[in-house]
Amino acid sequence: MTRSLIVTADDLGIAESVNLAIRDAHRNGIVTSASLMANMPAFGHAVTAVLPETPELGVGAHLCLTSGRPCSDPADVPLLVDERGMFCHGFTGLLRLLLSKRRREVLSQIERELTAQFERILGAGILLDHIDGHQHVHMLPGVRQLVARIARDHNLVMRVSNERWAAFPATLSALTAGLPKAVVLRMCGLFDAASGPDIGSRVNYIGVFESGRLDASALSRILASLPPGVTEINTHPGYGLTPDEVVECSEADRVFLGSAWRKKELEALSSPQIASGCERYGITTTRIADLGSSPRRSNSRSLTCE
C-alpha cells in the first residue's frame, strides 16, 4: 500500500515572518498545505502577498479562540475576551467554561466568533479545502460540533487531532510535554464524538508529541515509521519575530513564535535530506484537496482584503 503525506504549516497570518517561512517551506521544502488565521494582524499580508505566490499550496481555516482579537465586536463575545478586547482563555480555560453552567451562552458566543472568522476568509476570495483550530480548540466539546457543521456546509475536511500512539517521540521531554495533551484531546473526542467530513477515520494525524520541537531528527524518524495510507503532519515553521514586528497575540504564542525551534523546524522542512528521505521511503507528498473530496484552489485569483 502506498504512503502519502500531507504537511500542513499552521498559523499563516499570525505574523509576516511566519507567513514568509511558510511560503519558503512550501517553495523549497515539503510543506503542501497551510492553515490561515483570520483574526491575526498579518492576515492581509498572507492573502495579498503570500497566497498569490503559492498557487499550489492547500489552504484551510485555522479557527482561533485563544490568541489575538476576535473578528466579532468584543461586546458580542464578552465571555471570550478581557477588558482590552483580547481573547483571554487558553484551551483549558475554554474547556472549564464549556463544562460549566454557562455552556450554552459560551457556545453561542463561540459560534458567533467562528462564523465571523470563517466569513472573513471566504470574503477574501480564498477557496479552502480544510478546517482546523489554533491550539486544537476545534476539538473542544461542543465546539467540535460547530466546526463539523461548517465543514459539512462548505464541503471541507475537518482535522481530528488524535495523535497516533505509535508516534511516541524519542526524548523523554517531548513525551512528557505531549502525552497529557494527547490524552486530553482523545478524551474530548470521546466526550463529543461529532461526526463530519473529517479526516480522522481515513488519515493518520501527527502533531501533538513533537509540536514545537520538530527538528530534522524528529522528522526523519517520523518518515521512517510512516504507516501505509495517508498521514497529516502538523508543523509550525518560522523565522522568529523581527524586532519591529508587532503581533497582537497571547503571551504563550509570543514565546512560541520567538523560540529558536521555529527556524529549526523551517530548516528541517526545507532540508534536501528530508526530501530525499521521502523518496527513499516511497512517500508521496500531497494535499487534502488531492484526496478527491475537496475543491482545489485556482492558479489565478483576484484577492482583496480590508
Spatial contact of 214 and 170, defined as CB atoms under 8 Å apart: no
Residue type present at position 180:
P
* Domain assignment present for 17: yes
Does residue 127 form part of some domain? yes
Looking at residue 33, what is its pLDDT?
98
Q: How far apart are CA 67 and CA 64, in angstroms?
A: 7
Percent of the chain with pLDDT over 70: 86
Q: Give residue 60's domain range.
A: 3-291
Whether 306 is in a domain gets the answer no
b (16+ CB within 10 A) / e for 143-165: bbbbbbebbeebebbbbbbbbbe
Out of 147-151, 181-185, 215-219, 253-257, which region has the weakest mean confidence (pLDDT)? 181-185
**Nine-digit cell at 153?**
456546509
Provide the number of structural domains found in the chain: 1
Q: Is 300 a member of any domain?
A: no
| CA–CA distance, 278 with 271 (Å, rounded to integer) | 11
Tell me if 303 is assigned to some domain: no
In a domain, residue 297? The reply is no
Q: What is the pTM of this model?
A: 0.89
Residue 296 lies in a domain: no
Helices (H) and strands (E) in the chain, counts: 10, 8
Assess if residue 86 is contained within a domain: yes
Percentage, residues of the chain above pLDDT 90: 70
Give the CATH number, domain containing residue 285: 3.20.20.370
